[in-house]
Amino acid sequence: MFKTYTYKSLALIFALVLIASCTKDDGYTDIEAPKISPVTLDLSTVPYETLSEYNFFEGNMADLNPVYGVLPYKIISSLFIDYANAKTFVWMPKDSTAIYVNDYSVLDFPTGSVLVTTHYFENVLPDNTAKMIETRLLIKKESEWIMANYKWNEQQTEATYTTEGSFVNVDLLHDNTEKNVTYKIPNYSECFTCHNKSDVIEPIGTKPQNLNSKLMFNDGLKNQLKKWVEFGYLEDNLPANIVSVVDWQDESQPLDLRVRSYFDINCAHCHSNDGYCNYASMRFEFNKTADISNLGVCVESVFYINPTISHVVKPGVLERSALYFRMNSTEDQYKMPIIGRVQKHDEGLTLIEEWINSLSTDCN
Amino acid sequence: MKRVVLILFAIAIIPIVSFAQTSSDTCANANNATPISGPGVFNISDVNGTAPSTICSGGTSVAQNGEWYRYIPSANYFVTVSSNLSQNSGKDTRVQIYSGSCGSLQCVAGNDDVGGSNFLSSTTFSAQAGETYYIAWDNYWNPSSPFGFDFELSETIIPPTVSFTTATISAPGIDRGAVDMNGDSLDDIVSITSSIITVNYQQTNGTFNKVSHSLTGGIYTAGWSMAAGDFDRNGYNDLVYGNSDGAHVVKAKAGGNGYEIAATSHSIFTQRTNFVDFDNDGNLDVFLCDDTAPNEYFINNGSTLTLWEGDDPGAPIAGGLGVYSSGGNYGSVWVDYDSDGDADLFIAKCGGLEERRKNQLFRNNGNLSFTEVSIAANMNDPLSTWSSAWGDYDSDGDMDCFVGSSLTLEPHKLMQNNNGVFADVTASSGLDVFTDKGHENQPFDFNNDGYIDIYSNGNILINDGDGTFTILSSGIPQEGAVGDLNNDGFLDVFNGLIYYNDGNSNNWLKVCLTGTNSNINGIGARIEVSSPSFNNSSSKKAQIRDVRSAEGFAYMSSLNSHFGLGTDTSINTVTVYWPSGTVDVVVNPSINDTLCITEGETLSLESTLENDLILYPNPTKGLLNLNANYGFENAIFSVFDITGKRVLNDRFNSNTIDVSELSSGNYILRVINNGVIKTQKFIKQ
């Protein structure tokens, strides 16, 4: 039923070694031999028990040095993950390519694709070291994605498959101040809740709008989508112009674009037509938020919080805005996002505060 | 009569006049100024005095400035203070009403916003002749000067259908419970943090004794819900509560001296929690709704709690109780919808695909067997709902259901129970025009008129007793735990503040239960109160309640069953159908009192061993037929073994009972029909 890429790879290695030998013997200009990705992925037996079995990284695994074929990518506007950092990679089987659908939809990935996201902390005290916490895989089987989460051991040598949730306590330096963070590794249901599109698992970040930016690769600074095309990971039919999010941290960008970009990556997976919270009226996808009523501006708050909250966003009035209250809360029954954060995101709050205060729409 | 005429006259002429009485900058100055003594419109030119620091309008935030008035009513009135006037359109005010003295102000009422996008304020309170009240407006929402507006004070002797007087209470943490915790039948106040359970114990004099119980090892809060019940039968109620990371079952220690964690689920995104003895072994089990996965439950075998999720391999409930893979379970309520003597389960569902959010109704077949019957019952609506309120809204002797929508664009639904099949009667009830949405819907009779009302998101939907409802929105707390917090027979609300029901002249009865063979709280019992206006010989049937832990979405309301009696001055009977099968009947109890019944203490129903009730074949291997002389249509039958344990329970739909599941032995068949018990023995081979 499932293809076994290891065998296919072995056959290819053999063929390529032959080709490489020929070119050399003929004395032509030395062409670098096409490389073979050492990643091992057997769709009939994934998820593996340990992360190392996939062979995504070389050297000390915790350094996250990708092997050939594992491309780094970085979404333009990052998700808040309790002050952890994320490193993301993509891998696809030989000779398969993803297909562009539109600017705002996840690329149509080929069977066998893997998205590899590692959450880790930098500047972990006492020694200001990095600490790997979890590596999340999305693996595309024949027609559906599966999710597999790996929790790193204390020795930072291996990560082991888990469907259970757990808490990790970390003391770190953030902006030169000590911060104690309780980080939650999500359980399977929580993973599914955010990746759930009408009961089908979907990636969140890998949309053209989030990848249309430059990133430093081994061979220099390149637009990520173009690099994917060049590497053979993406069909070469991209439109000339891709409507893209901006980095919400980039203060040179217009405030409304930064805010819309922030909401897209943090909120849109649930607050969309096919999402877990499709019954609330907000629609946070970047391509829908040019209409600010989709962000809740002047929309009366349906769910009771306290006597002062009146709207999802009441222009100019933080205290009457449920959206601000929820972002500012760590109480379970109020906080938003509801899953995926334990801490308050101070920088995100500052951004949203500035935005709500900048609004002057008269709700009446 | 004379007084009414005078007042109407006064109201007719006075509101046109804007009174010269000026506001004062402090409470003390108001004491020296001329008090308001009657209705009128008053102008505040600028709010620039001292802000009131005791907030009765909800929350704790204090404004920069305030303006004060003193008001001394000439007679007992229901007084409305309101800035909700056309000349104030677009402004944003806040008002507090106090009694007491300037050095010791007591909250009486308060309001921030009328609601929706109207930020003006209006509040109604019950005022006593000659008492001094202080009215304090503040500029919390308009700190820039000048901020001026008009307000109107009006007086009436016609009571609002339901009104509340607020009072402050110290209850740190998440406010969840108005329920008796120490077995004295007085509802206490419960609030939760992850490490402290605070109980304000109601005293007989109406005050509260606050005790903070520290909890060792608590990591989950009551963020999403809490329920109470005494699962270990030590006389002190235990709790189950949880948040999106997990849930604790917390046990009261002996003598109620503190709490300890009895069991924990680390794998649940908790929503509504319940205590219920769903396997009917006399031990309360625990049910937990899961937002993102199949529901979980703890089975209590009398000594341990065992956790199961969905249809785990080996789980005792085949097929589970709500196993949609991504959950969508919000509000579970254990209700005897088919009136057959055991608790069935309705789950209000929300979010995602239509299949995920279709509500579910599980019929309890006994012996841990459940059948999902929502389609046949016409209750598998996909509307987005977090809770439902079940009560006998049409006074015909069975449980109807108000399914509360949580979505702006979807209407609520009132479903009428017709022999276990439900009909949508929203339009004829008048509730089609009710559009406030939210999480919380609970069934309670707030005006004690004998018709159970619906408490829904800042409104009380007053049951008019004729199939229609009147929407009461003014002065109603938004949501909270419901109980009798001053033991006056009228239901109060706790959430941050206590909202005391001002009451009326209607009569009432509260029933508290102590189970012996059944679970000690009597959860799952059906209580029937027959009185001159509500009895099974009249068009308004005897009032019914199921004892439930819990109602609505988040809160734990009283486990006492509360009945309004309207103007009835006597009660014929109170009948308790215990989950064990025991029936207790109390004849002619006192009204306006709390009636505590211990299981089996009364004579029960008239009981006869019927010689002419012929069962055949007897002995039987499988089917038991009843002679056709008896018209037992819809009657409830129970089968007891020789130890008195109820082993089978259902309603007749023919004259045949299937006893093939029973082990061999001697049994007694009991039929309750028209208030009379008929029994006969039989032998299973």
The sign of the CA dihedral B218, B224, B230, B236 is positive
In the predicted model, is pLDDT for residue B675 greater than 90? no
Q: Which residues, 6+ apart, have CB-to-CB distance to B303 below 8 Å?
A: none
pLDDT of residue A36: 93
Q: Of B48, B211, B68, B37, give the one whose Cα is nearest residue B143.
A: B48
Residue A276: its chain B contacts at CB < 8 A?
A: 292, 326, 351-352
Mean pLDDT over residues B512-534, rounded?
A: 97
Query: Hey, which residues does B528 pair with through a beta bridge?
Result: B544, B575
| Cis-peptide into B159, omega within 30 deg | no
* Per-residue pLDDT reduced to its tens digit, A212-225: 999 999 999 999 99
Name the band, by pLDDT with cuts 50, 70 and 90, for residue B1: very low
Query: Does the beta carbon of B329 lie under 8 angstroms from any beta carbon of chain A?
Result: no
Which of A143-157, B2-16, B603-617 holds the top average pLDDT?
A143-157
Say yes or no for a CB contact (<8 Å) between B292 and A308.
Answer: no
Query: Does the beta carbon of A187 lie under 8 angstroms from any beta carbon of chain B?
Result: yes
Rg (chain B; Cα; Å): 27
Q: Write down the mean pLDDT value for chain A.
A: 91
Mean pLDDT over residues B149-160, rounded?
A: 94
| Strand B360-366, strand B344-349: pairing | antiparallel
* Residue B42: HSE in the Cβ half-sphere, 13 Å Cα cutoff: 26
Q: Which residues, 6+ apart, have CB-to-CB distance to B348 below 8 Å?
A: B330, B331, B332, B333, B359, B385, B386, B387, B388, B403, B404
Q: Which residues, 6+ apart, have CB-to-CB distance to B504 below 8 Å?
A: B159, B447, B448, B490
Search chain A and give the residue with CA nearest B480.
A304
Could you say which residues from 298 to 317 on chain A have a Cβ atom under 8 Å away from some Cβ of chain B? 300, 302-304, 306-308, 310-311, 317
Q: Please give the model's pTM, rounded to 2 decimal places.
A: 0.90
| Strand B607-609, strand B676-684: pairing | parallel
How far is it, in rounded angstroms, from Cα B552 to Cα B332? Answer: 8
Nearest-CA distance from A200 to chain B in Å?
10
Q: Which residues, 6+ apart, have CB-to-CB distance to A173 below 8 Å?
A: A123, A125, A128, A179
pLDDT of residue A8: 45
> Residue B454: helix, strand or coil by DSSP?
strand
Range list of β-strands (E), B103-146: 104-111, 122-127, 133-138
Nearest-CA distance from A270 to chain B in Å?
9
pLDDT of residue A1: 39
Mean pLDDT over residues A318-346, rounded?
A: 95
In the predicted model, is pLDDT for residue B612 greater than 60? yes
Nearest-CA distance from A360 to chain B in Å?
15
Say yes or no for a CB contact (<8 Å) between A304 and B457.
Answer: yes
Mean pLDDT over residues A301-318, rounded?
A: 93
Mean pLDDT over residues B499-526, rounded?
A: 97
Name the band, by pLDDT with cuts 50, 70 and 90, for residue B19: low
Residue A364: its chain B contacts at CB < 8 A?
A: 90, 117
In the predicted model, is pLDDT for residue A32 greater than 70? no
Q: Of B278, B283, B169, B199, give the one whose Cα is nearest residue B234.
A: B283
> Within 10 A of B184 (CB to CB), how many other CB atoms are there?
14
Residue B351: its chain A contacts at CB < 8 A?
A: 276-279
Nearest-CA distance from B305 to chain A in Å?
21
In the predicted model, is pLDDT for residue A255 greater than 80? yes
Search chain B and give the residue with CA nearest A270.
B352
Q: Of A178, A126, A183, A118, give the one whose Cα is nearest residue A148.
A: A118
Residue A182: its chain B contacts at CB < 8 A?
A: none
Could you say which residues from 426 to 485 on chain B have a Cβ atom under 8 Å away from some Cβ of chain A? 437-440, 457-458, 478-479
A9 against A134, higher pLDDT: A134
pLDDT of residue B580: 93
Q: Write down the mean pLDDT value for chain B.
A: 92
pLDDT of residue A205: 97
In the predicted model, is pLDDT for residue B8 greater than 50? no
In the predicted model, is pLDDT for residue A25 greater than 60? no
Residue A199: its chain B contacts at CB < 8 A?
A: 325-326, 352-353, 356
ipTM of the complex model: 0.88
Mean pLDDT over residues A89-99, rounded?
A: 97
Residue A339: its chain B contacts at CB < 8 A?
A: 244
Say yes or no for a CB contact (<8 Å) between A281 and B408.
Answer: yes
In the predicted model, is pLDDT for residue B14 greater than 50? no
In the predicted model, is pLDDT for residue A135 greater than 50? yes
B158 against B530, higher pLDDT: B530
Q: Is B612 exposed, middle or buried (0-12, 13-18, 19+ CB in 10 A)?
A: exposed
* Per-residue pLDDT reduced to its tens digit, A256-271: 999 999 999 999 999 9
Name the band, by pLDDT with cuts 50, 70 and 90, for residue B459: very high
Which of B166-180, B615-629, B630-644 holds the top average pLDDT?
B166-180
How far is it, in rounded angstroms, from Cα B634 to Cα B631? Answer: 9
Long-range residue pairs from A262-266, CB within 8 A, at least 24 positions apart, any chain: A262/A77, A262/A348, A262/A351, A262/A352, A263/A289, A263/A295, A264/A77, A264/A209, A264/A289, A265/A75, A265/A77, A265/A78, A265/A79, A265/A204, A265/A205, A265/A210, A266/A79, A266/A80, A266/A337, A266/A348
pLDDT of residue B70: 96
Of residues B90, B112, B384, nearest to A364 (C-beta): B90
Of residues B116, B174, B245, nearest to A165 (C-beta): B245
Query: Does the beta carbon of B59 lie under 8 angstroms from any beta carbon of chain A?
Result: yes
How far is it, in rounded angstroms, from Cα B467 to Cα B533? Answer: 16
How far is it, in rounded angstroms, from Cα B558 to Cα B574? Answer: 19
At position B329, the amino acid (one-letter code) is N
Say yes or no for a CB contact (<8 Å) between A199 and B325.
Answer: yes
Nearest-CA distance from B491 to chain A in Å?
21
The sign of the CA dihedral A284, A289, A295, A296 is negative
Sheet holding B665-673, edge to edge: B607-609, B676-684, B665-673, B636-641, B646-651
Name the band, by pLDDT with cuts 50, 70 and 90, for residue B6: very low
Query: Does the beta carbon of B292 lie under 8 angstroms from any beta carbon of chain A?
Result: yes
Which of A166-180, B10-24, B639-653 holds the top average pLDDT?
A166-180
A331 against B678, higher pLDDT: A331
Could you say which residues from 545 to 574 on chain B have a Cβ atom under 8 Å away from some Cβ of chain A? 554
Percent of chain B with pLDDT over 70: 95
pLDDT of residue A33: 63
Of residues A164, A307, A333, nearest to B113 (C-beta): A307
Could you say which residues from 219 to 238 on chain B have a Cβ atom under 8 Å away from some Cβ of chain A? 221, 223-224
How far is it, in rounded angstroms, from Cα A54 to Cα A69? Answer: 12
> Residue A6: helix, strand or coil by DSSP?
helix
* Residue A56: HSE in the Cβ half-sphere, 13 Å Cα cutoff: 29
Check if the beta carbon of residue A263 is closer than 8 Å to that of residue A336: no
Nearest-CA distance from B243 to chain A in Å?
6
Q: Is B2 exposed, middle or buried (0-12, 13-18, 19+ CB in 10 A)?
A: exposed
Cβ-Cβ contacts under 8 Å between A and B: the total is 103
Check if the beta carbon of residue B151 is closer than 8 Å to that of residue B44: yes
At B307, list the tokens.
């956790």
Say yes or no for a CB contact (<8 Å) between B438 and A300.
Answer: no
* Per-residue pLDDT reduced to its tens digit, B380-432: 999 999 999 999 999 999 999 999 999 988 999 999 999 999 999 999 999 99
Say yes or no for a CB contact (<8 Å) between B290 and A196.
Answer: no
Mean pLDDT over residues A165-186, rounded?
A: 93
pLDDT of residue B7: 40
In the predicted model, is pLDDT for residue B12 greater than 70? no
pLDDT of residue B629: 64
Name the band, by pLDDT with cuts 50, 70 and 90, for residue B650: confident
Name the band, by pLDDT with cuts 50, 70 and 90, for residue B18: low
Mean pLDDT over residues B47-69, rounded?
A: 93
pLDDT of residue A9: 46
Percent of chain B with pLDDT over 90: 81
Of residues A196, A333, A364, nearest to B224 (C-beta): A333
Name the band, by pLDDT with cuts 50, 70 and 90, for residue B2: very low
